[in-house]
Structure 1
């Protein structure tokens, strides 16, 4: 139960996720020296609970355990309890998620970890219902009191394992592109798209890779994702993932980074095929981001919850009666037929709107969507996590820049400029990048992904606008990231850098999961900067990073989709012209590294715009067209 009068030590925090727990009877501490010192002084283990605001199962465990007086009594008596927002502290999350994976073989959120006063973990899991959690608390307390030596050895062993550096093992000169495509083919679902069985995640960076290596797999998946209920047909944008094989019933939380990356994937598909559907889905996704996640100060909020009115997905579900109330009998019946809204429903007795059985276009019925949206707006909305995270805002900027470049849409380019200006103004400090900002408070020093994604967005903005300031800022950020995060001995980049807190382990993230890893994005940034600037230092760093990533990707190529997307062939184009403004209509493709000439080595021939093109290790003769 909540005690509205009592607050714990989260009261001074600004994270919306932490503040959700401020009235718990659990005596929560934020992560920091005070909690670790209390554990040492009182000889108690740490209980570290890691989650995020839009996490449905985090809310379930909070209701069942952390708002419960019996559970709180056991935690307060035997443990020092620490709450962590994984989106603000990805370094803490990475360390303890790795520990959970080492101990259990899998992970997820909520992440539940027990550790000693130094933060070294000895037991980890994810969601626990009340009875199982109470039994676990009793078992951990007993082991802490009677088997301390065994726990200490376990903590030391686990910490050593998660602190082990990922290294390039040598012998991998090329990226395993064909091997990855073959792995995706083996796991592909030919009937419903996607890979493997339920749950199905969108992994847009994998689709970006497949659009160039196995386009039929990518386009089948893009269409099925759109037709299913994972796409919000009423309001636009995508939910987190599908709980079933058909993309019908989603996990209803909406994340900024998912929508930004999916917009890029659909834009890339449109660029490649010209199919109008891909453009329409991208535009509706970008419109959702602008309408529902854009903050008044120019940044983007992090996410929207899955739950409202005490039910998962309630905001997005409809009955036929509700549709008739919104549209009237005739239009309502037509809408229900097209969007699969039935009396029996497809989730908890209600229906997720979808087009899985609607194979024909029906513009007349689709024109009713704004009226249904207006009807839905009268409901209690899901909670919005108002954190503005640098890495995620950078992805949003990259998505709008891609829209400006591919669609030649000035408003999208302007949205990218505005977002990048916000990051530079509000999420940076004298050149140093921060994690983000919430409730008016700037968060701490940025991590690798903050620098890498920001540089990636600046490169996208340069290719959309040809504004040199974006390119120079990207180069400066990349150099700073190398100074802060690069592992000069083992290769690659650490997640945390010289400006970040020192934890019990220092991890490197190279695997491309829900988002591309910082190491994958740095490989892309360095290789593109080498082509765009002709800077030999960027070329050397890009080659070294590629060798590091090739070695890791060789073990499971399909797990490195964004890295391999960045490793695909790129056409370097240098344009020498007397009329740069005359090229504003030029559509720079995603597989180009395009820039204007800035020196005498690229002369204008016959007083006409001249293109110097290099690809596949070969430079072609100068030409007046591309």
Structure 2
């Protein structure tokens, strides 16, 4: 270890601020943000050949963890065994989070975790824990936020060092195996410096962990404590549309990114299509179509097998990052189908048909359901298997047909990286391998081969593509992650059902129903009402998350819309009830994970990223159910969630693209309609303003003044309707709103709140302190302090809840005539 490297690590470690937690340059500075956001992974099972090392991951039922089961590192899965060992031996934890199709995770597995000398240091000084981000998205989310707090960056692999009680004090991404002047200290240097700091200056590391936890709690409060705004989905849609159009690349489509990378951003494209459908904004449609054309023509679109790679590494969509994700392909299938519905453009129909058939051929499990992803790399080479040279194409198609084929298709060479530890594709007879894409401008390419439209041209070259694909299929194939993740399958089921209807393809609807039936029978326990997160090798496992319940429920409602079969509505309603009981919060918002999942801190969603968030899908499910059944409980829960997030929707509607889309596709009913529904289905007689469907409908207050020794007292009687309760003061949790009494212009010497009762439900199995029925709050004032006052104005703030939902809090005014006491 060089003196320079040790000094750098020590200086950065010992700075007294949260952002100390990363070594400057410890992740590769050349690797752009999008590449660092990826990593390695494999859906392959460990080799059956004898292995020199075997660790605790061998007992896992997860493809990413099994990939590391024969590393010389003493890996543990996330869980109590590892945590207990860390506390018993008083060692820090090295937490490494990735997923099975992540390129840089593969690089780390090959260059770091397979290295016996590095593994020896890891085993000697740390307790090492591996997590699949797709198996435990809740763990990944917490520690990704922690890393962003500490370093300002994110992405996978996500590597952190934790105290034995799981508080992070150091973070980074890919650590190189040795010191490098360009990349900074290598992993052994970092390990040694952290071990030295843990031994000699542990208090500072513990202090960093506490600082990070404080920042996480503040972030949690900020995410759940944003203000409210008038509920106006149409205005939110217009604001989001204008924001997205300002970021649009008019030449090559997509949303501009300073890094040069481009992701499909399907939720945002769906919002723009929705805006066009409702408002006929010309730029909204043209921007989406420009993007869909560019994606279809580019290398991000697999021109031979169909389907789409994860993102483009440059602005023209030519050079992709090669992994294929189920969630991208499902959403793009939906987008191309909807674009065809709006424009009748044959290209969009052909791309949608091709994408659905790709999903059925490459991603669909034989017994139903869809796998998670296809890897980007093969034998350490990204894109291996997808690349071609001019000579290879000539040898397959013949010189004349190859010339014709290559007049419409171009070959884009992959840029060569100077980053160490990366394998590169080998040249063939001096030619660098390249990725296929359609030539642009497309009009000129069509003219060169004598066609008027792209769809007709694609059909004419189908036999050429088939010949190339037959050769490609004989090559070794990238690994496939064969987890069947419920939330991702929900997106896919809905996309197949709705595209099947639009494109008149009953087969697609059949694939969707088969997946839905399998997940219902295998992943949902009808006795306990619990949904599992994933199925792997026939085994349902891991407690489901908000996104799983909501996504599958919305998919069932899509099947109802397409098939008319009521069984899907029944199943969706059952999932919605379980979702509200497990993840609903008293303020109307949602937790993303069950509180008993062993996470450091529970944090809600912060928007719709590469796919709809659990919160947005929950709102979608509830509004679809209300539309189908007119049951007030679904409308109330959806309305409460929207009110709670209204400030976010107003400030950042483009970040909540899926929620804004849902609220405009399934609008909240008018106040008059809401009152009628509530009256008919619940017997409640709500006021005519939707804003007043709140706690004031079920809580009444009255006040009186009486004399007490050494002063006066105001007694406020609070009456709560049957089957409702209000939170005690103090409330059981910080995020709950306590019942509170306040006065205007005068201050009592003391406010005595009544004794609470204990309330339990599926939402709060551990119990909450609440008030029920009739109770009294007593405020006492010093003798003579009320003299000369005619009346006192005050208010009681309270939030009424049932076993399933909480209404928005109300401030209930009181007025007390003092002189007449």
Q: TM-score, length-normalised on structure 2? A: 0.67
Among 136, 152, 159, the residue aligned to 2:206: 152
Map 1:170-249 → 2, pairs under 5 A: 170-175=228-233, 176-197=236-257, 198-213=260-275, 214-249=284-319
Cross-structure match for 1:522: 618
* 1:152 to 1:5, Cα distance in 2 relative to 1, 3 A: same
Cross-structure match for 1:21: 68
The alpha-carbon deviation at position 492 of structure 1 amounts to 1.4
- The runs of 5 or more residues in structure 1 that have no matched partner are 574-599, 602-626
3-state SS of paired residue (1:512) = coil
The alpha-carbon deviation at position 114 of structure 1 amounts to 0.9
Higher RCO structure, 1 or 2 (CA under 8 Å, sep 6+): 1
Cross-structure match for 1:615: none
Among 381, 385, 395, the residue aligned to 1:315: 385
3-state SS of paired residue (2:436) = coil
The alpha-carbon deviation at position 174 of structure 1 amounts to 2.2
CA RMSD of aligned residues (A): 2.1
Per-residue displacement from partner, 1:506-539 (whole Å, max 9, x unpaired)?
1111311122110111111112222221111111
Cross-structure match for 1:335: 405
Cross-structure match for 1:435: 533
Q: C-alpha distance in 1, partners of 2:239/2:631?
A: 31
Number of residue-to-residue matches in the alignment: 571
Q: In the alignment, does 2:572 pair up with 1:474?
A: yes
Cross-structure match for 2:477: 381
3-state SS of paired residue (1:379) = coil
Cross-structure match for 2:728: none
The alpha-carbon deviation at position 207 of structure 1 amounts to 0.7
Q: C-alpha distance in 2, partners of 1:448/1:139?
A: 40
* 1:572 to 1:273, Cα distance in 2 relative to 1, 3 A: farther
Q: C-alpha distance in 2, partners of 1:546/1:272?
A: 29
Q: C-alpha distance in 2, partners of 1:569/1:237?
A: 27
* 1:514 to 1:173, Cα distance in 2 relative to 1, 3 A: same
Cross-structure match for 2:366: 296
Q: C-alpha distance in 1, partners of 2:93/2:539?
A: 27
3-state SS of paired residue (1:177) = helix
Q: C-alpha distance in 2, partners of 1:401/1:106?
A: 38
Cross-structure match for 2:602: 506
Contact 2:107/2:380 (CA < 8 Å) preserved in 1? no
Q: In the alignment, does 2:125 pair up with 1:78?
A: yes
The alpha-carbon deviation at position 365 of structure 1 amounts to 2.4
Map 1:26-45 → 2, pairs under 5 A: 26-45=73-92
The alpha-carbon deviation at position 72 of structure 1 amounts to 0.9
**Structure 1 residues 19-28 or 428-437, which shifts more?**
428-437
Q: C-alpha distance in 1, partners of 2:463/2:345?
A: 20
Contact 2:623/2:666 (CA < 8 Å) preserved in 1? no
Per-residue displacement from partner, 1:440-482 (whole Å, max 9, x unpaired)?
3321210111101101111111111111111121122111101
- Whose Rg is larger? 2
Larger fraction in strand? 2
* 1:345 to 1:23, Cα distance in 2 relative to 1, 3 A: closer
Cross-structure match for 2:675: none
Q: C-alpha distance in 1, partners of 2:61/2:668?
A: 46
**Structure 1 residues 424-433 or 379-388, which shifts more?**
424-433
Cross-structure match for 1:49: 96
The alpha-carbon deviation at position 570 of structure 1 amounts to 4.0
Q: C-alpha distance in 2, partners of 1:315/1:209?
A: 35
The alpha-carbon deviation at position 569 of structure 1 amounts to 4.5
Contact 1:9/1:30 (CA < 8 Å) preserved in 2? yes
Q: C-alpha distance in 2, partners of 1:186/1:299?
A: 39
Cross-structure match for 1:544: 640
Q: C-alpha distance in 1, partners of 2:371/2:404?
A: 35
Cross-structure match for 1:273: 343
**Structure 1 residues 401-410 or 288-297, which shifts more?**
401-410
3-state SS of paired residue (1:352) = strand
**Structure 1 residues 505-514 or 457-466, which shifts more?**
505-514
Q: C-alpha distance in 1, partners of 2:156/2:439?
A: 30
3-state SS of paired residue (1:99) = helix
The alpha-carbon deviation at position 231 of structure 1 amounts to 0.5
Q: C-alpha distance in 2, partners of 1:555/1:115?
A: 35
Per-residue displacement from partner, 1:179-237 (whole Å, max 9, x unpaired)?
21121112111110111132111121111111132111111111111111001010000
Among 113, 134, 138, the residue aligned to 1:91: 138
Per-residue displacement from partner, 1:254-281 (whole Å, max 9, x unpaired)?
1111111111111121222222211111
Cross-structure match for 1:120: 167
The alpha-carbon deviation at position 387 of structure 1 amounts to 1.0
The alpha-carbon deviation at position 326 of structure 1 amounts to 2.1
3-state SS of paired residue (1:316) = coil
Q: C-alpha distance in 1, partners of 2:414/2:636?
A: 58
Q: C-alpha distance in 2, partners of 1:162/1:469?
A: 42
Among 427, 430, 438, the residue aligned to 1:355: 438
Per-residue displacement from partner, 1:301-351 (whole Å, max 9, x unpaired)?
111100114310011111112212222222222222321037x67776212
Cross-structure match for 2:154: 107
Contact 1:65/1:71 (CA < 8 Å) preserved in 2? yes
3-state SS of paired residue (1:130) = coil
3-state SS of paired residue (2:54) = coil
The alpha-carbon deviation at position 4 of structure 1 amounts to 2.2
3-state SS of paired residue (1:548) = helix
The alpha-carbon deviation at position 557 of structure 1 amounts to 2.4
